């Protein structure tokens, strides 16, 4: 652990008001890392042990209409204990910590709250992170939850609750599509080994089922639409798959944004497809775009063209405008990008015999 980060840990207990902020339309990694970090600070880095009687105020802010239903398992029935989530903010905070945001604008309506804080910290895992805070900790990990493990828990001797570990596990498995993408690094193996040892296989299986084996009728309807010719097209000799689910599709399916999870990943399974893209319009002219690429294809470069970012094989960005407007801009970028790809087939295994 860097000396600079150790200094931050020593300082955290002296901050009376802390704001933890993640990105708009939060996914599991954003939500889980935010709540987990609050628990970690309260239990291990507050003025008093376990946060008991501590006068520290630690608020969590997520710019969204509603928390995705798959994440509500982490909210106790006694919601009074969750009053720290999106409260009326103070006029200013001593410390603001950004999580899972590659740039300051990703915090949406809480951007100004972050910028007004006396001290700012940025913890993230996206390669395109702009280092916008006073202190920046951008780790080459699968997810922000994995980054929190290495920053706050790795090599520490204290006992971590199953609640914290469950949050970290959920962020890791969802950001890697159940450990299928960007999950082959040694760091991910180490984090998962620690979680497996301390969380237990039974609880891990139930958490995994909550995210990957729990399709609603609305999600099934949305998946069906995503397979139709109206919403799916193949470009450049089927190398690029483009799926568009506009506002009408969400209304017809009575679906939420989280119901679209996994669709863009599935599109990449078709033989010959190198890049899959999904355009999601939950609200009119507010688009969320996800990109996936086969091994060796850095789709984050496309996302960066639109102010987004991500990893080599998975990236995302947001766009103001209609799906048709975005397609006119996006398709030429994807076509040019695909033409410049290495011609070596990903199905070429000749090196096995060298």
pLDDT tens track for 178-191:
999 889 899 999 99
> What's this model's pTM, rounded to 2 decimal places?
0.88
- Are the C-beta atoms of 33 and 144 separated by less than 8 Å? yes
Closest CA to 188 of 103, 297, 177: 177
How confident is the model over 59-73, as a mean pLDDT?
93
Distance (Å, rounded) from C-alpha 148 to C-alpha 244?
A: 34
**Angle between helix 201-212 and helix 162-175 axes, rounded to 10 deg:** 40
How confident is the model over 91-95, as a mean pLDDT?
95
How confident is the model over 294-317, as a mean pLDDT?
89
Residue 297, pLDDT score:
87
Residue 331, pLDDT score:
87
Q: What is the pLDDT of residues 244-276, one digit of tens each?
A: 999 999 999 999 999 999 999 999 999 989 999
- Are the C-beta atoms of 34 and 27 separated by less than 8 Å? no
- Are the C-beta atoms of 300 and 313 separated by less than 8 Å? no
Mean pLDDT of the chain: 91
* pLDDT at position 128 over 80: yes
How confident is the model over 36-50, as a mean pLDDT?
86
Q: Among 3.40.190.10, 3.90.1640.10, 3.30.200.20, 2.40.160.10, what is the CATH number of 3-212? A: 3.90.1640.10
Residue 303, pLDDT score:
92
3-state SS, 261-313, equals: CCHHHHHCCCCCCCEEEEEEEEECCEEEEEEEECCCCCCHHHHHCCCCEECCC
How confident is the model over 163-170, as a mean pLDDT?
98
CATH topology of domain 217-339: Diaminopimelate Epimerase; Chain A, domain 1 (3.10.310)
Residue ranges covered by each domain of the chain: 3-212, 217-339
How confident is the model over 62-91, as a mean pLDDT?
90
* pLDDT at position 3 over 90: no
pLDDT band for position 312 (50/70/90)? Answer: confident
- Are the C-beta atoms of 215 and 256 separated by less than 8 Å? no
Backbone phi, then psi, for 50, in 5-degree steps? 60, 15
How confident is the model over 281-301, as a mean pLDDT?
91
Please work out, in degrees rounded to the nearest 5, the angle formed at the alpha carbon of residue 181 by the alpha carbons of 175 and 184: 110
Residue 1, pLDDT score:
53
**Tokens 């766009």 map to which residue?**
319
Look at residue 80 and give its three-state secondary structure: helix
């Amino acid at each position: 652990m860097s000396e600079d980060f150790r200094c931050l840990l020593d300082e955290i207990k002296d901050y009376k008001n802390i704001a933890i902020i993640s990105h708009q339309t939060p996914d599991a990694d954003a939500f889980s890392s935010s709540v987990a970090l609050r628990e970690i600070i309260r239990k291990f880095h507050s003025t008093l042990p376990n946060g008991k009687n501590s006068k520290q105020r630690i608020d969590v802010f997520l710019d969204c209409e509603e928390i995705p239903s798959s994440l509500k398992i982490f909210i106790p029935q006694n919601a009074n204990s969750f009053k720290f989530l999106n409260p009326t903010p103070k006029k200013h905070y001593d410390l603001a910590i950004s999580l899972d945001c590659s740039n300051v604008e990703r915090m949406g309506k809480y951007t100004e709250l972050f910028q007004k804080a006396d001290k700012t910290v940025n913890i993230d895992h996206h390669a395109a992170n702009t280092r916008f805070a006073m202190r920046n900790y951008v780790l080459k990990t699968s997810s922000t939850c994995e980054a929190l493990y290495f920053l706050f828990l790795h090599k520490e001797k204290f006992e971590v609750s199953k609640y914290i570990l469950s949050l970290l596990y959920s962020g890791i498995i969802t950001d890697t599509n159940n450990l299928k993408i960007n999950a082959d690094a040694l760091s991910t193996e180490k984090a998962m080994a620690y979680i497996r040892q301390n969380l237990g296989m039974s609880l891990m299986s139930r958490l995994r089922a909550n995210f990957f084996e729990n399709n609603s009728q609305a999600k099934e309807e949305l998946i069906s639409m995503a397979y139709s010719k109206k919403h799916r097209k193949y470009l450049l000799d089927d190398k690029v798959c483009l799926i568009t689910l506009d506002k009408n599709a969400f209304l017809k399916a009575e679906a939420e944004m989280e119901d679209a999870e996994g669709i863009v990943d599935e599109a990449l399974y078709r033989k010959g497809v190198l890049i899959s893209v999904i355009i999601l319009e939950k609200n009119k002219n507010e688009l969320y775009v996800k990109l996936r690429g086969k091994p060796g294809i850095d789709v984050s470069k496309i996302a960066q063209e639109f102010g987004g970012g991500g990893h080599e094989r998975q990236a995302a960005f947001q766009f103001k405008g209609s799906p048709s407007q975005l397609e006119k801009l996006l398709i030429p970028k994807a076509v040019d990008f695909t033409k410049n790809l290495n011609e070596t087939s990903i199905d070429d295994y000749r090196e096995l015999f060298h």
